[in-house]
Amino acid sequence: MNKFIRRRILAAILVSLFVVGGVSLYANRGVIRAAFEQLQGNDYPGPGQGEVEITVNAGDNGDVIAERLFEAGVVKSYRTTYKLIVDTNPLFFPGVFTLKLQMRSVDAINALADQNSASLQRTTIKEGLRASVLFKVLSESTGVALADFESFFTKPAEFGLDASLNNIEGYLFPATYTFAPGSSAKQILQAMVDRMREEIAKFGIPKEKVHEVLTLASVVQKEARLKDDFYKAARTFINRLEDGMHLQSDATVSYGVGGNTVSTSRADRANKNGYNTYLNPGLPIGPISAPGSVAIDAALHPAEGKWLYFCTINLETGETVFSETYAQHEKAVAQWLAWMKDHPEYE
């Protein structure tokens, strides 16, 4: 196609943009740019072939995206693509996009501006994980260094939490998240803290009660197995507190000594730390895990009952015996010890 014919075609396009519907030149400068570059041979005709993944990180600007598309072979010219981005000023969404090789610049740009076409990696945080384990899951899933997450553990004020808190344990809500590529450890943790705030608001927990509720909920989360038992366990702990008894939760003891076993030793229970509810009265000094909605609900709305003890007698099924007297509890403990003897792998 010679230059004369190209110019006539371009002139016809310009005229149509002005005439049809009274459309302005400014509003359609992106379309004009695309048509012009196509005629000049500076753009692929499309629709393209093969597949290539393009990652758009949070904060990437048009210059970075145009360069990435060009280097990957998606578009023919960095300059053409960047000028089109400037003309159209699209909103790019973070994510991983599957594009074709040798696409028209306008088609590639439109694809990256379509949030629904992005493939984002999902990260599932299970209820009951302590922060040290939770951080490892996040690191493995997102590729962010474990040390980056760990560096924020004792910095609650960084996330708008009360600076008097020892750490952010219990304030990271367990759920399935979609984190944008390039998200930092702080951004990821902030999203989890914000999600916990939503849960707190949903339950209408007064500000002065939040730490207490999350602490109790975190213990219930670690101690209970079946959904109905969450509410019984919460009632048992509350009954003990009201009767002036120590909670004597092995989960709190294990957390205090950095352990990860179901049972605790005599030395563990004698260790002096703020999480040892065998030595110290009341709740531990803070949460010991990431409590989910059921655990929080149980802490706020415990079942009715006079239980003072409970013991899980089968760790595979979660069967738990709740007792009102110590004699009843001793029988349950005997059942648990017998089961543990047959299942040493649960130590």
Residues 180 and 98 reside in one and the same domain: no
Share of the chain above pLDDT 90, in %: 61
> Which letter, b or e, does each residue of 299-311 get, where b requires 16 or more Cβ atoms within 10 Å of its Cβ?
beebbeeebbbbb
Share of the chain above pLDDT 70, in %: 87
Domain boundary residue, one of 203, 229, 260: 203
Q: Which of 1-5, 41-45, 189-193 has the lowest mean pLDDT?
A: 1-5
On the question of pLDDT at 41 being above 90, the answer is no
Domain boundary residue, one of 151, 186, 203: 203
Residues 182 and 247 reside in one and the same domain: no
Q: Which structural domain range is residue 143 located in?
A: 122-203
Residue 334 φ then ψ, to 5°: -60, -40
Residues 27 and 111 reside in one and the same domain: yes
Q: What is the mean pLDDT of residues 293-308?
A: 97
* 290 against 114, higher pLDDT: 290
On the question of pLDDT at 27 being above 50, the answer is no
The alpha helices in 151-292, defined as continuous H runs, are 185-203, 210-223, 227-242, 250-256, 266-270
pLDDT (tens digit per residue) in 185-225 = 999 999 999 999 999 999 999 999 999 999 999 999 999 99
Residues 212 and 339 reside in one and the same domain: yes
Band (31; pLDDT cuts 50, 70, 90):
low
Domain boundary residue, one of 203, 229, 253: 203
- Residue 17's pLDDT is what? 44
User: Rounded CA gap, 125 and 176, in Å?
Assistant: 6
User: Rounded CA gap, 309 and 223, in Å?
Assistant: 12
Residues 126 and 245 reside in one and the same domain: no
CA 47 vs CA 68, 72, 266, 272: distances in Å: 19, 16, 71, 69
Q: What is the mean pLDDT of residues 169-179?
A: 93
pTM beyond cutoff 0.75: no
User: Rounded CA gap, 241 and 221, in Å?
Assistant: 18
Those residues whose C-beta lies under 8 Å from the C-beta of residue 283, and which sit 6 or more positions away, are 212, 215, 216, 219, 241, 247, 277
What average pLDDT does the chain have?
87
User: Rounded CA gap, 87 and 29, in Å?
Assistant: 6
Band (35; pLDDT cuts 50, 70, 90):
low
Residues 214 and 89 reside in one and the same domain: no
With CA atoms as reference, report the closest residue to 220 among 304, 297, 305. 297
Residues 12 and 98 reside in one and the same domain: yes
pLDDT (tens digit per residue) in 10-21 = 444 444 444 444
Band (42; pLDDT cuts 50, 70, 90):
confident
Residues 227 and 308 reside in one and the same domain: yes
Residues 144 and 38 reside in one and the same domain: no
On the question of pLDDT at 26 being above 60, the answer is no
Structural domain count, the chain: 3
Q: Which of 30-34, 102-106, 173-177 has the lowest mean pLDDT?
A: 30-34
On the question of pLDDT at 282 being above 90, the answer is yes
Residues 110 and 29 reside in one and the same domain: yes
* 237 against 119, higher pLDDT: 237
Residues 196 and 239 reside in one and the same domain: no
Residues 230 and 341 reside in one and the same domain: yes
Residue 291 φ then ψ, to 5°: -80, 140
